[in-house]
Amino acid sequence: MNIKKIKRLAADMKEKTVETRRYLHAHPELSWRETETSLYVERRLREYGYENIRRGFGDAASGVTADLSGSSGPRFALRADLDALPIHEENGAPYRSSVDGVMHACGHDGHISILLAAAEILSLMKEEMPGCIRLIFQPAEEIGSPSGAAVMIDEGALEDVDAIGGLHLWSFVESGKVQWKNGPVMASSDRWNVVFTGKGGHGAAPHTAIDPTVAAAAFLCAIQTITSREIDPIEPAVVSLGKIEAGDAFNIIPDRVNMAGTLRSFDSGIRASMEARLRRLAGGIAAAYRCEAETSVTHMIPSVVNHAGITKILREAAEAVVGAENTEESPRLMISEDFSMYQERVPGTFFFVGAGNPAKGADNPHHSPRFEIDEDALETGVAMMAAFAFSAVEKLK
């Protein structure tokens, strides 16, 4: 791999990459509605000579896959996510969102511009590359269900792919650094719903009613013990409540309480045991309080588990791009990413490119209305994606 050439091309393209990111930032689109973004991606890939370009997955006109065939050899896939969030941007930059209530507040605008620039570099180095590239521009990463990754995989996005890589710009990590991790790195995410049903009545006569709010309160306290008392303290796991709905008036005992929340963990055994324990507590507490409980758990996103061999290739590429001193191991994160769905089919690794820089206002968390990245991170991301893919096809051969 000619790393000098890759770094030089990424540096030459810096201005163009920033321009692309700013254009996309100004024109955000929500999950499954990334039509204009996908058309934009498609036009650029045609310009760079990509083949087998396919646009439109599921019932949507969004999502793009494309191939670059060097000489025959292994096929490595690179993935970027396309969607923005239902957030009203509070930044004042000239390229701020032009769509009211929609914002690229997670950095996916940067991911698209990085993958487009890396695509151009790889197309320029096609003759020297001993393998093929599949690009996957994925809709709907943010909403979990239906996940863009699941739909694209169902419709053949991974056909003939040997391995896959993906990145996230990360405002919690200093710009200029790259983080890798072997094994589990991001948690699985499941949604739970519990409905407690009792018997409504007058607030002054509780003995004539069956109050489901008391059962719900006991349940909310009891589920805290799933992680604190029932799971090995060495193992990270989270049970959170995000939504609770009951009642219409101060003097009426309601007849039902709706609760919803999330379960997060890294291990599939723990994932299953948390669901079983949540169901047991809901049923047991409902019975104790003369109510009924209806529990459902929706499995949304599995844990991101990085493959040792592919992570080694990524780590070496990172050391070549930013130097060993700027390459570090990532901590595990309780948030989830549907990149894990690709990893259920082919070996892959998901890594982080630092995009934080307080001096440039890039120190707000992802999904904040003031989220911003240090745009210098784009050049790092471009060189990383191109070097990682090039090196992967060389080493997988």
> Mapped to the 3 state alphabet, what secondary structure does 270-328 carry?
HHHHHHHHHHHHHHHHHHHCCCEEEEEEEEEECCEEECHHHHHHHHHHHHHHHCHHHEE
Which lies closer to Zn ion via its Cβ, residue 255 or residue 338? 338
Residue 230 is a catalytic residue: no
Residue 83 is a catalytic residue: yes
Tokens standing for residue 375:
């745009």
Which lies closer to Zn ion via its Cβ, residue 1 or residue 186? 186
Which lies closer to Zn ion via its Cβ, residue 135 or residue 285? 135
Which lies closer to Zn ion via its Cβ, residue 280 or residue 332? 332
Least distance from C-beta 136 to Zn ion, angstroms?
Answer: 15
For tokens 């007058």, name the residue: 202
Least distance from C-beta 89 to Zn ion, angstroms?
Answer: 15
Greatest CA span in the chain, whole angstroms?
Answer: 82
Burial 42-62 (b: 16+ CB within 10 A, else e): bebbeebebeeeebebbebbb
Region near Zn ion per CB under 5 A, out of 95-103, 106-114, 122-130, 375-383 = 106-114
x/- binding map, residues 31-70, to Zn ion, per CB under 5 A?
Answer: ----------------------------------------
304 binds Zn ion (CB under 5 A): no
Among left, alpha and beta (phi > 0; psi -120 to 50; other), residue 333 is: beta
Which lies closer to Zn ion via its Cβ, residue 295 or residue 336? 336
Tokens standing for residue 374:
């240090």
Least distance from C-beta 91 to Zn ion, angstroms?
Answer: 17
Contacts of 46-52 with C-beta under 8 Å, sequence gap 24+, read 48/119, 48/120, 48/123, 49/123, 49/126, 50/119, 50/123, 50/135
Least distance from C-beta 27 to Zn ion, angstroms?
Answer: 17
Alpha helices in the chain (DSSP H): 3-12, 14-26, 35-47, 108-124, 148-154, 212-222, 224-229, 268-288, 308-322, 339-343, 376-396
Region near Zn ion per CB under 5 A, out of 13-21, 103-111, 156-164, 198-206 = 103-111
106 binds Zn ion (CB under 5 A): yes
114 binds Zn ion (CB under 5 A): no
Which lies closer to Zn ion via its Cβ, residue 215 or residue 355? 355
Instruction: Give the interface size with Zn ion as a residue count (CB under 5 A).
Output: 1
Least distance from C-beta 262 to Zn ion, angstroms?
Answer: 14
Least distance from C-beta 108 to Zn ion, angstroms?
Answer: 6
3-class DSSP state of 109: helix
Region near Zn ion per CB under 5 A, out of 3-11, 63-71, 104-112, 377-385 = 104-112
Residues of span 267-286 touching Zn ion by CB under 5 A: none
First to last CA, the chain: 13
Annotated catalytic residue, options 83, 190, 255, 379: 83
Point out the residues that are catalytic.
83, 141
Residue numbers at the binding site for Zn ion (CB under 5 A): 106
